[in-house]
Structure 1
Amino acid sequence: MQHRADTPSSPPLNDQRALTRAGLALRCLPFRRAFYDEVTDRALSSTGLCSRNDASSLCRGAPTPDRVEAHWIWLIQLGVLRREVDGQGLTERVRLTPMGRELLAQWPGEIPTPSGLDRLLHGLRRWRPRL
């Protein structure tokens, strides 16, 4: 089998599934585009997010550190966020990954609102991934 390096290839099927699942999560979780723009440039902790005066511009609803952490853990598992590292190891702060930047690039403005079916699919994939 001959491989041509100059032939563009599509992403592997698993990568496309990961992007689709992560894109659905971005649309269903309460974080606004401004939050993702913020963690592109600098790390942010859940307590830092919740204590900000402008938290409502970064997140829909009333964020609590525990709820924010639960959402972040999911986004870390999906590959959208990563924990910040310092000299002591992992911190409580997060930053956007290259995959997260790739997903956000598909939406020039605010992240689109999910449909009811999208929310249902996201919930099933998050809480019952084997179904």
Structure 2
Amino acid sequence: MSLEHPSWWDAHSDQPYKLARSEKPRLQAANLNEYLRTALCALGSLPTIAWHYARPKRIASPTPRDFVGLGVSPDHGSHQAVSDLVEELGVQNLLLRVPSWHADKLDYYLDFAGRFKGH
């Protein structure tokens, strides 16, 4: 089954196409109030953030095996090939991307996810 994506979706990178410079919003006077509120919030939070990073760490960092994962999608390649590659890599954490416009096809994604029960 080949899933259809919207015209603005880049199938190669599995994310939206990059916007052209002309399509990007610019700084406008109407947005200055929002920028000011954001700046004041950041300045107000700065002492707490600085204190948090200045004190000694009490928790150990996760090991790469527990921290690193892999994003998989049923859109690319054979499902068996993807499953075999994940098994070969020994990945413990998987992220399955389900675009919101495929909400009506959840069973398809659940069947694909069922191949990775140990991950």
The question of a shared fold, defined as TM-score above 0.5 by the shorter chain, is answered with no
TM-score interval w.r.t. the shorter chain?
A: under 0.3
Larger radius of gyration: 2
TM-score, length basis structure 1: 0.23
TM-score, length basis structure 2: 0.25
Greater relative contact order, per chain length (Cα 8 Å cut-off, separation 6+):
1
